């Protein structure tokens, strides 16, 4: 089988690609392990410095149907659709967000429909599809009331994926990812970027700005667990999801204060002093509209696993950094 990863030059796409190379196989529609022949990493810029000849970088605009047509062939039976404009970017540039987060997803679905080979598509949605006045524990049966354009685009894409699946055009699965933390690299335009910055930068001896107060609650998943969930999302037999193709992935519900306290226990008070607290009303309001805890028993029954505690999340990040 060929695998396509959109957003394949991003940190999660590359980490997923590495995990797939290590496995060498993926369970597909046959119900058996199938050998992975090729993994295409599509992104706006071609991924560089790849570790395996199995990995094929491609540069192109995901919203361009001709680009998608070139990277999806009849053997591309596994698609991981990670490409997105993050929340802050989609809020600042409405047209760009619609184009990448919604139109490109539609193009992807449409190219697969035209191809007629009914691939499995794992789509990374987000807990930002929820918002506003929510129950303390968000269910999968809770209505989607996004309070950001990013969330609205992801919610529309989920509906489209479900209908393309119902019609038999594709076999779609939407995974609502918690905030992935601790991300490596640099801060990005995601409004949740602080949830990595406040751990990552101080550990690098650099200052970090926290735009929300200590009481702000976030719902996080470590990069390693996120990759495992993406693979699990692909390998699930289609019928186990039934008509409801979206899954609230398990996460860890922690306050920013608890994250910083864990960091202090693991790395000491001088590290924590590198965090500057500068609450930003706009960010604080949007983050507060994201729910802090979810009912995830369905995801757990389906074999998705979250992290044990915040200390293990930080420790895993420290171990990865020490290796690289």
Site for a second copy in 244-303 (CB under 8 A): 244
Q: How far is CA 287 from the centre of its chain?
A: 17
85 interacts with a second copy by CB under 8 A = no
| The two three-digit tokens of residue 191, written as one number | 């409004």
Question: Partners of 254 in the beta sheet?
Answer: 218
Strand partners of residue 247: 175
Between 89 and 146, CB nearer to a second copy: 146
Q: For tokens 């910055």, what's the residue?
A: 197
**Does residue 238 bind a second copy (CB under 8 A)?**
no
160 near a second copy, judged by CB under 8 A: yes
Residue closer to a second copy (CB basis): 276 or 285: 285
Alpha-carbon span 293 to 283, nearest angstrom? 19
Report the length, in residues, of the chain: 324
User: What is the distance between the alpha carbons of residues 100 and 109, in angstroms, rounded to a whole number?
Assistant: 13
Give whichever of 47 and 161 is closer to a second copy, judged by the CB atom.
Answer: 161
Q: Is 164 a catalytic residue?
A: no
Question: Could you say whether residue 162 binds a second copy (CB under 8 A)?
Answer: yes
Among 149, 179, 193, 197, binds a second copy (CB under 8 A): 149
Min dist CB 192 to a second copy, Å, is 19
Q: What's the rounded Cα separation, in Å, for the pair 312 and 181?
A: 12
The whole-angstrom separation of Cα 165 and Cα 55 is 28
Q: Which of 78, 104, 152, 275 is the binder for a second copy (CB under 8 A)?
A: 152
Question: x/- contact string, 94-123, with a second copy (CB under 8 A)?
Answer: x-----------------------------
Place of tokens 């202090």: 264
- Give the Cα separation of 111 and 103 in Å (integer): 12
Helix 149-166 × helix 104-115 angle, to 10°: 10
Size of the residue set binding a second copy (CB under 8 A): 25
Residue list 45-84, contact with a second copy (CB under 8 A)? none
Residue among 163 and 309 whose Cβ is closer to a second copy: 163
Binding residue for a second copy, selected from 30, 53, 141, 324, defined by CB under 8 A: 141
Here the tokens at position 169 are 């055009």
Q: Which residues on neighbouring strands pair with residue 124, listed in sequence order? A: 175
Residue with tokens 């864990």, as numbered in its chain: 262
Is residue 155 part of the contact set for a second copy (CB under 8 A)? yes
Using CB under 8 A as the binding rule, whether residue 156 contacts a second copy is answered as: yes
Which of 150, 164, 219, 294 is the catalytic position? 150
In the complex with a second copy, the residue whose CB is nearer, 66 or 166, is 166
Q: Which stretch binds a second copy (CB under 8 A): 25-33, 40-48, 135-143, 215-223?
A: 135-143
In angstroms, what is the minimal distance from the CB of 47 to a second copy?
Answer: 32
8 Å CB contact between 198 and 259 = yes
Residue 12 C-beta: closest distance to a second copy, Å: 25
Exposure class string for 267-282: b at 16+ Cβ within 10 A, else e: beeebbebbeeeeeee
Catalytic residue set: 150
**Site residues for a second copy per CB under 8 A:** 94, 131-133, 139-147, 149, 152, 155-156, 159-160, 162-163, 166-167, 243-244
């Amino acid at each position: 089988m060929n695998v396509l990863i959109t957003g394949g030059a991003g940190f999660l796409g590359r980490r997923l690609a590495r995990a797939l190379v290590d496995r060498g196989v993926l369970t597909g529609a046959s119900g058996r392990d199938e050998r992975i022949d090729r993994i295409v990493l599509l992104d706006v810029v071609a991924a560089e410095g790849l570790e395996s000849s199995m990995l094929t970088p491609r540069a192109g605009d995901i919203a361009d149907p001709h680009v998608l047509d070139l990277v999806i062939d009849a053997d591309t039976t596994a698609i991981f659709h990670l490409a997105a404009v993050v929340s802050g970017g989609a809020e600042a540039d409405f047209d760009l967000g619609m184009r990448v987060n919604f139109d490109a997803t539609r193009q992807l679905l449409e190219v697969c429909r035209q191809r007629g080979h009914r691939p499995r598509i794992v789509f990374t949605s987000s807990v930002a599809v929820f918002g506003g006045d929510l129950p303390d524990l968000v269910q999968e049966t809770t209505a989607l009331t996004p309070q950001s354009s990013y969330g609205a685009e992801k919610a529309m894409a989920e509906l489209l994926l479900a209908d393309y699946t119902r019609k038999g055009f594709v076999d779609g699965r939407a995974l609502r990812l918690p905030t992935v933390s601790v991300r490596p690299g640099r801060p990005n335009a995601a409004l949740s970027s602080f949830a990595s910055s406040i751990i990552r930068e101080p550990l690098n001896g650099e200052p970090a700005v926290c735009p929300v107060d200590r009481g702000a609650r976030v719902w996080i998943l470590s990069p390693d667990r996120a990759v495992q969930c993406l693979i699990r999302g692909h390998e699930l037999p289609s019928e186990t999801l039934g008509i409801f193709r979206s899954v609230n992935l398990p996460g860890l519900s922690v306050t920013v204060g608890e994250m910083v306290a864990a960091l202090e226990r693991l790395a000491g008070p001088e590290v924590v002093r590198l965090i500057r607290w500068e609450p930003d009303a706009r960010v604080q309001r949007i983050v507060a509209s994201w729910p802090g805890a979810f009912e995830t028993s369905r995801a757990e029954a389906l074999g998705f696993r979250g992290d044990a505690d915040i200390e293990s999340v930080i420790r895993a990040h420290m171990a990865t950094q020490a290796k690289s």
